[in-house]
């Protein structure tokens, strides 16, 4: 073993070795029964004579710290009490650290362990086209041998930016040149980048209430004042926006978490408001590729005539969350500063994943995967709605949503969220509630967020049977539905 000792060669070398080995044993760095380095090896490491180390060992053996086994070496003695660790007084935390400590950052991923789970935002990893992806990765790896080393573009590799621009123009009507695309390590980094670019301590951010809690926590951690703005059946209520807002974070295609789309009139009103106030809109279009009916409305970015919208997209919902790849469509006037922020944040997103994803998209695998996933999601959604409108309707009211792969359902009866989630886990059912999405959590559970992206179709009915059992136990007298 290599034992770290630092000697001052101007003093008593034997005494220093004895003192430091004793301290290492007291602090627990040398455990009882640990074999000590041979005297010749330790002497070489420390740059001292072997005799010096031998003398130190002999003193420690005599004091009971070590014991020698003839022909076998020297070991740390058993039964030595560890020296109590002295904890220095905690330093006064800087204001920024205090701010981050006060932020509640809810974890929205699956808790794991339950037989059935309606977890929102989770894609079906078993259905991911692994073979096609593997071929793309292998091709890119082979090409890496001939690639000339050099600095990568913080905005992303051009083949991927071109593929993204083509994809979102085709699927969402988003207008942006490849040079307007900035590749990020997931949607969350995109939100962070825009926040760092536009916000300072005390800046005002307007957010839907309920709204995406991870964005709210991030804005608060950066020192911004987050103003919750109500939503209704048409989405964000524009006339209630705070006039001093620098940034508006909004999910117009599929309101997170309730699901309704923002009406065209509200979209136009929001764009006009941002133009008048010189504010920026961050449009999170997180799972709009999956539509099940109704008229597809243009993205805010498509309708924008004043360059006030930053469009945020991700591949976590369509492919795999573990890819950690998203993108921003940035107005040209904002791109130079956004590029600089990205460069300073992490230099650039891993290029191997970028090139593999660009090839995956250009060969048509992404669109094929979306079409196949859409068919599966439509089946699951249909079955879930049938039960929500059927035997579960006395307890739950399904909210209208035409996109995505989760459904929100309001509770018709007062039930404590903690009790609901805990009892469901006892029934091997994992649930997510709407409560974390509210700026101020309601006193009783607001409802459920039923993700159907990853649950198997055959598991939906058994899972909902368990949910019905739990609800009937917590609210034996359900609401009367007319």
pTM comes to 0.83
318/467 same-domain check? no
- Alpha helices, DSSP H, located in 278-362: 300-303, 335-346, 351-362
Residue 265, domain extent: 102-107+128-364
Q: What is the model's pLDDT at position 149?
A: 75
Q: What is the model's pLDDT at position 111?
A: 56
* Helix/strand/coil percentages in the chain, nearest 5: 40, 15, 45
313/420 same-domain check? no
Q: What is the model's pLDDT at position 112?
A: 62
The answer to whether 206 touches 245, Cβ cutoff 8 Å, is yes
Non-local (6+) Cβ contacts of 309 within 8 A are 271, 274, 280, 281, 283, 300, 301, 331
The answer to whether residue 114 is domain-embedded is no
373/355 same-domain check? no
The answer to whether residue 456 is domain-embedded is yes
What are the distances in angstroms from CA 328 to CA 302, 316, 420? 14, 14, 38
Q: Check which CATH number belongs to the domain holding 458 and give it.
A: 3.90.1150.10
User: Comparing C-alpha atoms, which of 190, 186, 189, 221 is closest to residue 205?
Assistant: 221
The answer to whether 235 touches 263, Cβ cutoff 8 Å, is yes
352/382 same-domain check? no
160/254 same-domain check? yes
Final residue belonging to a domain, choices 314, 346, 364: 364
User: Strands (DSSP E) along 175-285, which ranges?
Assistant: 181-184, 204-209, 225-232, 235-236, 247-250, 280-284
193/44 same-domain check? no
Positive or negative: CA dihedral 187, 191, 196, 198: positive
Q: Is 383 left (phi over 0), alpha (psi -120 to 50) or beta?
A: alpha
The answer to whether residue 222 is domain-embedded is yes
Q: What is the model's pLDDT at position 80?
A: 73
255/162 same-domain check? yes
Final residue belonging to a domain, choices 314, 330, 364: 364
* Cis geometry, peptide bond prior to residue 210 (ω within 30 degrees of 0): yes
258/348 same-domain check? yes
Q: What is the model's pLDDT at position 144?
A: 85
The answer to whether residue 112 is domain-embedded is no
Domain count for the chain, please give it: 3
Q: Check which CATH number belongs to the domain holding 67 and give it.
A: 1.10.10.10
Q: What is the model's pLDDT at position 86?
A: 60
391/320 same-domain check? no
322/411 same-domain check? no
Q: What is the model's pLDDT at position 482?
A: 55
User: Comparing C-alpha atoms, which of 48, 53, 61 is closest to residue 10?
Assistant: 48
The answer to whether 115 touches 445, Cβ cutoff 8 Å, is no
Token look-up 């509200």 returns: 266
293/421 same-domain check? no
User: Comparing C-alpha atoms, which of 75, 121, 89 is closest to residue 450?
Assistant: 121
The answer to whether residue 140 is domain-embedded is yes
The answer to whether residue 425 is domain-embedded is yes
Q: How far apart are CA 36 and CA 445, in angstroms?
A: 60
The answer to whether residue 85 is domain-embedded is no
The answer to whether residue 87 is domain-embedded is no
Q: What is the model's pLDDT at position 11?
A: 78
Q: Look up residue 334 and give its DSSP letter.
A: T
342/441 same-domain check? no
Final residue belonging to a domain, choices 364, 392, 409: 364
Over its length of 482 residues, how does the chain's per-residue pLDDT go in tens digits? 556 677 776 778 898 899 889 888 887 788 888 899 898 888 888 888 999 999 999 999 999 999 898 888 899 998 775 655 565 676 788 888 888 888 887 765 555 678 999 988 887 888 899 999 999 999 999 998 887 777 899 999 999 999 999 999 998 889 899 999 999 999 999 999 999 999 988 999 999 999 999 999 999 999 999 999 999 999 999 999 999 999 999 999 999 999 999 999 999 999 999 999 999 999 999 888 888 877 778 899 999 999 999 999 999 888 888 888 999 999 999 999 999 999 999 999 999 999 999 999 999 999 999 999 999 999 999 999 999 999 999 999 999 988 888 999 999 999 999 999 999 999 999 999 999 999 988 888 899 999 998 899 999 999 999 999 999 999 887 766 65
User: Comparing C-alpha atoms, which of 356, 284, 347 is closest to residue 320?
Assistant: 356
Q: Check which CATH number belongs to the domain holding 357 and give it.
A: 3.40.640.10
């Amino acid at each position: 073993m290599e034992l770290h000792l630092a000697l001052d060669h101007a003093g008593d070398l034997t005494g220093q070795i004895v003192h430091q080995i004793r301290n290492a044993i007291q602090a627990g760095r040398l455990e009882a029964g640990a074999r000590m380095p041979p005297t010749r090896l330790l002497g070489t490491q420390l740059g001292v004579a072997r005799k010096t180390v031998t003398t130190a060992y002999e003193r420690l053996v005599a004091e009971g710290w070590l014991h020698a086994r003839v022909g076998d070496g020297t070991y740390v003695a058993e039964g030595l009490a560890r020296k109590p660790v002295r904890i220095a007084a905690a330093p006064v935390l800087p204001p920024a650290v205090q701010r981050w400590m006060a932020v509640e950052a809810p974890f929205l991923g699956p808790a794991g362990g339950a037989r059935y789970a309606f977890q929102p935002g989770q894609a079906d990893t078993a259905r991911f086209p692994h073979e096609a992806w593997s071929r793309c990765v292998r091709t890119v790896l082979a090409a890496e041998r001939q690639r000339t080393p050099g600095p990568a573009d913080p905005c992303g590799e051009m083949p991927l930016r071109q593929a993204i621009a083509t994809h979102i123009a085709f699927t969402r009507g988003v207008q942006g040149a490849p040079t307007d695309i900035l590749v990020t390590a997931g949607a969350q980094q995109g939100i962070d980048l825009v926040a760092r670019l536009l916000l300072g301590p005390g800046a005002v951010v307007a957010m839907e209430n309920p709204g995406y809690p991870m964005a709210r926590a991030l804005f608060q951690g950066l020192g911004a004042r987050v103003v919750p703005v109500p939503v209704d059946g048409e989405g964000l209520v524009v006339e209630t926006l705070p006039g001093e807002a620098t940034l508006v974070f909004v999910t117009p295609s599929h309101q997170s978490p309730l699901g309704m789309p923002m009406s065209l009139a509200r979209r136009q009103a929001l764009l006009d408001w941002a133009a008048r106030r010189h504010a920026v809109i961050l449009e999170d279009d997180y799972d709009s590729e999956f539509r099940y009916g109704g008229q597809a409305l243009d993205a805010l970015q498509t309708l924008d005539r004043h360059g006030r919208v930053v469009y945020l997209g991700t591949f976590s919902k369509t492919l795999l969350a573990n890819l950690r790849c998203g993108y921003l469509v940035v107005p040209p006037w904002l791109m130079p500063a956004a590029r600089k922020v990205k460069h300073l944040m992490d230099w650039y997103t891993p290029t191997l994943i970028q090139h593999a994803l660009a090839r995956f998209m250009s060969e048509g695998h992404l669109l094929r995967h979306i079409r196949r996933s859409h068919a599966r999601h439509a089946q699951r959604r249909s079955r879930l709605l049938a039960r929500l409108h059927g035997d579960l309707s006395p307890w739950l009211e399904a909210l209208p949503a035409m996109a995505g792969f989760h459904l929100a359902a309001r509770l018709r009866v007062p039930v404590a969220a903690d009790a609901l989630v805990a009892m469901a886990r006892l029934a091997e059912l994992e649930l997510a509630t709407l409560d974390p999405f509210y700026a101020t959590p309601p006193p009783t559970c607001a409802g459920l967020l039923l993700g159907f992206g990853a649950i198997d179709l055959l598991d939906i009915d058994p899972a909902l049977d368990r949910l019905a059992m739990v609800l009937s136990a917590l609210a034996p007298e359900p609401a009367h539905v007319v």
